[in-house]
Chains A and B, each alone.
Chain A
Amino acid sequence: MGINFRKETFRDDFSFRNSPEQIRRFPFPFHEDSYMYAVNIEPHTPGPKNTVFEHLIDVDEHYISEMEDRALVLAEDPLRCQSLPHMTLAGWDLLELLMTQKAESYPEHFSLTRDGDNWHWINRPLGIDDRFTFGDVSTLPYGPMAYITRQSQGDFCVLDQRDGNLWMDAGIVTTQADWSLDFDIGMNFFEWHAPVPLAHDMGIFNRALKFLTNIQQGQPARRFNWTMTINPRLDTSPENYHKWGVDRTTVTPENVGQKVHLRVELQTFWRLPRSNALVFPIRCYLIKMDELVTSPKWARRFHRVLRDLPNELAEYKGLTRYRQTVVEWLSQYDDGAPTSSGFGPD
């Protein structure tokens, strides 16, 4: 059974919605009624059916529309996709990873046939049928990273590893919460983390760096991050702050259900085999408050998490302006009953 791809927008009329099935597979990030900032990394292994972990690279009903949104962003601002010259090999690694994973996990939508370096790629949802020579850039319409990430949901940071550090030397960033590839390109791990407030302890960064530089081939890892977005806007980049910053002031008790979204980012970490580079795909999942509260457990829990969130974290995540309105709205769904442990909707 194939995926039922939706036709929708992440801008202008914001017609983005989740189907009931998609709501049930939403990666709700709170396993208990409170939230503590922690760098909780776990192995990225395939998970249960009908979750976003069922396959290591998740494709969902928003695929086609997200790719259309990406094409719009890139047309306006080509610098959202950059690759320094030494990162081409890593681009081929990434192309191989994404094509093989997609073809294996979703054979009804994607197929890859390899005869040595002669590859044949079919992407049915996007109507792509291309033959090319692996390793020969001139046989693709874009560089390998750009080519495959225009066909893959989520942002991608490709990091070169040298001198015991990681360098943001390639990437495509069109759906990112509030940071800029063009600003970070060429920076190392410490430089690009410089603006993070709460975690000013260098020890945390040193441990994280050590963990990341030791990521092994065939053993990807993952972590979650969350924030909130007003209107289902994928592109909340600093470059576009003038477009979305003002959204934060538009939340009223009447429109919380439709306008306010929980935004969950699934970050995964992979070692790339030929280049020894790392790739961090960052996948963004959005859910409207109206959709979230269709699960009574999630409604109660999110109410408690948001209500009890320390102010500095709320500030850091940019929630301060509308948090109170949302907490009050959510409180009508919280009868004080206990919630079961775990992430699931029931």
Chain B
Amino acid sequence: MSAGTRKIDVIVTDVVPVNELVKRFHFQRTDGQLLPTFSGGAHVVVEMRDDDRTRLNPYSLMSSPLDTRDYTISVRRDDTGRGGSLFMHQRVNPGMRMVISSPVNLFSLDLRARKHLMIAGGIGITPFMAQTSQLAGDAGNFELHYTCRTETLATYADVLKGRYGRRIHLYRDDQGERLPLEQLLASQPLGTHLYICGPAGMIEWVRRTAAEAGWPDDTVHFEHFAAPQPGKPFDVTLAISGKQIRVSEQQSLLEAIEAAGIDPPYLCRGGVCGQCETKVISYDGNFLHNDHWLSEEEHQSGRKIMPCVSRFEGKSLVLER
């Protein structure tokens, strides 16, 4: 059976500029029903139909899981990306009909935790918006540490402070404020779980510091969506379906496979869930692996690729698809 997610028809009910880089989008079901219940940390995949092509980008749900009249996501404009965020910023207006997937959670709270310690960087704040709503509704014990470039880019810091007061700690780069990570990790009660969402460098830093401080792996959770990167076009042969495709500069390999009328499985489209894993039959060239799913050895082996985020440069690539 296809692992693709179930689609939901929605209407954009509001688009709210939050600051110079971030816009918030509100969706309701076109049939007026409630949206599916979800758990904090879940994402939906938003379909963007842009004239001749379809992009599918994952965004964390930031609205409260306790209220499913609407879903909200926040999108940070990325002027150098492949255009998904620009499409959202420039083309999506209230009243527009769109299609999103059912929610999928790859960044779930560990409900055994006695305390949830959350560390957010930049737009990585969004899954924590939903998680804190969920925990607060259940009298959960949490604390959020949020790093941002400037006060005005501290998206939703005001909202969070208004809701949770001293449980929210803000660190502004331009004010020279630094997250006292080592101290923070050293002073947590037994049974604390750590959650990280933000830029790759930050995730790495926090994970490394936690590992050095002796935190067991199963208490450290992180959301590590890699946005597919643009790159040089390349050609691929799909052996099972007998098709030749070209992946254009702004397209991901997964999108190019889909554009050829094939429906491969996916969940995250960000290189973390493992669902799109594809066998390489033969190749002559170099892989540009961008996923967080395959191991280092698998990357070296040239036998597998995650088409949602990874690319290829070279003469030929034949995939089992």
Q: Mark A239-276, 1 if CB is under 8 A from B, else 0.
A: 00000000000000000000000000000000001111
Q: How far is the CB of B278 from chain A (nearest CB, A)?
A: 14
B93 within 8 A of A: no
Q: Mark A83-94, 1 if CB is under 8 A from B, else 0.
A: 011110100010
Please determine whether B36 and A273 come into contact, CB atoms closer than 8 angstroms. Answer: yes
Q: Kindly list chain B residues whose C-beta atoms are within 8 Å of the C-beta of A93.
A: 37
Please determine whether B6 and A273 come into contact, CB atoms closer than 8 angstroms. Answer: no
Total residues of chain A contacting the partner, CB 8 A:
26
A135 to B138, CA, bound (A): 9
Q: How far is the CB of B263 from chain A (nearest CB, A)?
A: 15
A160 within 8 A of B: yes
| Closest partner residue, chain A, to B275 (CB atom) | A214
| Closest partner residue, chain A, to B111 (CB atom) | A86
A93 to B111, CA, bound (A): 14
A219 within 8 A of B: yes
Q: How far is the CB of A46 from chain B (nearest CB, A)?
A: 15
Q: Kindly list chain A residues whose C-beta atoms are within 8 Å of the C-beta of B36.
A: 217-218, 273
A208 within 8 A of B: no
Q: How far is the CB of B55 from chain A (nearest CB, A)?
A: 21
Please determine whether B39 and A274 come into contact, CB atoms closer than 8 angstroms. Answer: yes
The stretch among B98-106, B148-156, B206-214 that forms the contact with chain A is B98-106
Most chain A beta-carbon neighbours within 10 Å: one of B65, B108, B273: B108
Q: Which residues in window 8-41 of B have CB below 8 A to A?
A: 36-39, 41
Q: How far is the CB of A43 from chain B (nearest CB, A)?
A: 5
Q: How far is the CB of B73 from chain A (nearest CB, A)?
A: 17
Q: Kindly list chain B residues whose C-beta atoms are within 8 Å of the C-beta of A162.
A: 108, 110, 218
Q: Kindly list chain A residues whose C-beta atoms are within 8 Å of the C-beta of B136.
A: none
Q: Kindly list chain A residues whose C-beta atoms are within 8 Å of the C-beta of B105.
A: 276
Q: How far is the CB of B44 from chain A (nearest CB, A)?
A: 11
| Closest partner residue, chain B, to A161 (CB atom) | B108
Q: How far is the CB of B165 from chain A (nearest CB, A)?
A: 24
A86 to B104, CA, bound (A): 20
Q: Kindly list chain A residues whose C-beta atoms are within 8 Å of the C-beta of B249.
A: none
Where chain B touches its partner, the secondary structure class is loop
Q: A218 and B275 in contact (CB under 8 A), knowing A162-B110, A163-B217, A273-B38?
A: no
Please determine whether B112 and A86 come into contact, CB atoms closer than 8 angstroms. Answer: yes
Of B102, B138, B217, which is within 8 A of A218 by CB?
B102
| Closest partner residue, chain A, to B39 (CB atom) | A276
B5 within 8 A of A: yes
Please determine whether B38 and A214 come into contact, CB atoms closer than 8 angstroms. Answer: no
| Closest partner residue, chain A, to B38 (CB atom) | A273
Q: Which residues in window 267-300 of B have CB below 8 A to A?
A: 267, 273-275
Q: Kindly list chain B residues whose C-beta atoms are within 8 Å of the C-beta of A210.
A: 274
Binding site for A on B (CB under 8 A): 1, 3, 5-6, 36-39, 41-42, 65, 102-105, 108-112, 134, 138, 217-218, 267, 273-275
Binding site for B on A (CB under 8 A): 41-43, 84-87, 89, 93, 96, 135, 160-163, 210, 214, 216-219, 221, 273-276
5 interchain pairs, CB-CB under 8 A: A42-B1, A43-B1, A162-B110, A217-B38, A274-B38
Contacts A163-B218, A221-B1 supplied; 8 other A-B pairs, CB < 8 Å = A87-B111, A162-B108, A162-B218, A214-B267, A216-B6, A274-B65, A276-B42, A276-B109
The 9 A-B residue pairs whose C-beta atoms are closest, nearest first, are A273-B37, A86-B111, A276-B108, A86-B112, A276-B39, A276-B105, A163-B218, A218-B6, A43-B1
